Amino acid sequence: DDLYKARGSADQLVGVIQQKTGESRRAIEDFLEQTIEDGGTILQHFQDTARAYADQAGDTYREQFDHVSDTVRAGYEQAESMVQRKPVESVAVAFGAGIITGVVVGLVLKSR
């Protein structure tokens, strides 16, 4: 009810607080200004903390991506080397894998 009396006006809010507490207008205004300033400091701290967490998460993501990329690259190079050393066997293995994959997909589609 008391806040309703202020009707969104800072001056009226200070007046209501002054009536209720008996404090001087200047003391109330100083308190409100300090509270707003402290709130800004706290908000800045939260923003800085969130930014630090985001940076840390980004660094972790990049490290994991680099690790996975290196692993995939090494596997690809190893497979490429195997194909160059044993081309006939590699084609036979790829053909067999294709046949098995086709049979599995066919069975899955047929069961639906």
Q: Domains of the chain: which residue ranges?
A: 2-111
- φ and ψ at 23, to 5 degrees? -75, 160
| Model pLDDT for residues 6-24, shown as the tens digit of each residue | 677 788 888 888 888 999 9
pLDDT the model gives residue 66: 96
Residue 16 φ/ψ, nearest 5 degrees: -65, -45
pLDDT tens for 71-106 read 999 999 999 998 999 999 999 999 999 999 999 999
Q: How far is CA 54 from CA 10, 41, 57, 59, 85, in A?
A: 37, 20, 5, 9, 46
Q: Could you list the beta-strand ranges (E) of the chain.
A: none
The stretch 59-82 carries a mean pLDDT of: 94
User: If you search the block for the tokens 């800085």, which residue do you land on?
Assistant: 48
